[in-house]
Amino acid sequence: MPEPGIDQAHLVFAGVVKQYRLQTGTVHALRDVSFTVGHGEIFGIIGRSGAGKSTLLRTINALEKTDAGSVLINGIDVGSLDEDALVKLRRRIGMIFQHFNLLSSKTVRDNVGLPLRVAGVAPHRIRERVDSLLDLVGLRDKADVYPAKLSGGQKQRVGIARALVHEPGILLCDEATSALDPESTQSILALLRDISRKMGLTVVLITHDMAVIREICDRVLVLDQGQVVEKGEVWRVFGDPQAAPTLALLRPLLHGLPADLAAQLVDDLQGKPGYALLSLRFNGVTHAQGVNLQFLALLGPQATLIHGGIDRIRGHGQGNLLVSLPLAAWQNVKDQGVFSHRHGADFIEVLGYVPTRVE
């Protein structure tokens, strides 16, 4: 999904600046941040702690006021709205949080219906709306249960239902899966994806976890020290990261060099027998379907696949494979010109050499 133009975008950030003035000096939380988010898009904002993610998210509903630049929703500048208009706007923007923020003394039904009661909605309308949302998030049988009896994933489902009571057009997710176990995380991400599709909901989520971005987002923005260092379609950013902060965030997901091999690796065999260790990187551009097995076959019968993996992101197969090849066979491959992009590998690197152990 390419970045929408300003005229077609649901959200527009134009030169957004936010500073905090402290006794110790000025903190530049956001520095000239500009991007757009399309209608119905699931857009991820990622960065390390202190990158400015939460500040950026809170400018959307004006919980944070910008010092310069503007945030537009459907062409309306959020910063230009008075208090009454802001109240109406915030009802059209749902928000879910890392720690659920449920009232322990209220049942699931009461927690979900609370924003409607505050808005003065009639009780029978509240019950209809709440029951419909509990069906949507799969918790109809938990309507009269208190939060203490719920798992973390169930509590977040209550939070999602509550965020949807005013039928928002935008859903903000502030580290919504950070407190959950892996299984609950997957179920919540699947629910958010399903809700976005069914309701045409624009979702903006912030996280420090690239696995969450890979699972659910259409596009991603990488924030570092308040600046946009990279943005684009998720598969492109994962397949060919350009910025150092992006590479650092991706490192836990990459099939890097195992420690036992790294300990054996040398720069030069100095005439001794051994193996070349090759890294084959596939970014999903040249061959979207995945790895060209013909290329692996051209490395010869002595090639050994020893580590790595291929992921499929938004229809693009990409990943990294580590292959060992006896030195003589590697020299033969180079002489034959197999070391070429046209065979399907987008990037091939000789990581080093592993000496053959003499027993």
- pLDDT recorded at residue 83: 92
Report the pLDDT averaged over residues 111-135. Answer: 94
**Residue 2 pLDDT:** 80
Q: Which pLDDT score is estimated for 3?
A: 87
Sketch the domain layout of the chain as residue ranges.
11-92+168-252, 259-355
Class assignment of domain 11-92+168-252? Answer: alpha beta
> pLDDT at position 240, please?
87
Report the topology of domain 259-355: Alpha-Beta Plaits (3.30.70)
Residue 294 is predicted with a pLDDT of 76
Contact at 8 Å (CB) between 245 and 237? Answer: no
- Tell me the average pLDDT across 168-173: 96
Dump pLDDT digits (tens) for 291-338: 777 777 888 889 999 999 888 898 888 888 899 999 888 888 888 766
Q: For residues 72-101, give the mean pLDDT.
A: 92
Q: What was the pLDDT predicted at 346? A: 67
**Which whole number is the average pLDDT over 242-252?**
92
Question: What is the value of pTM for the model shown?
Answer: 0.89
Mean pLDDT to the nearest integer, 34-61: 95
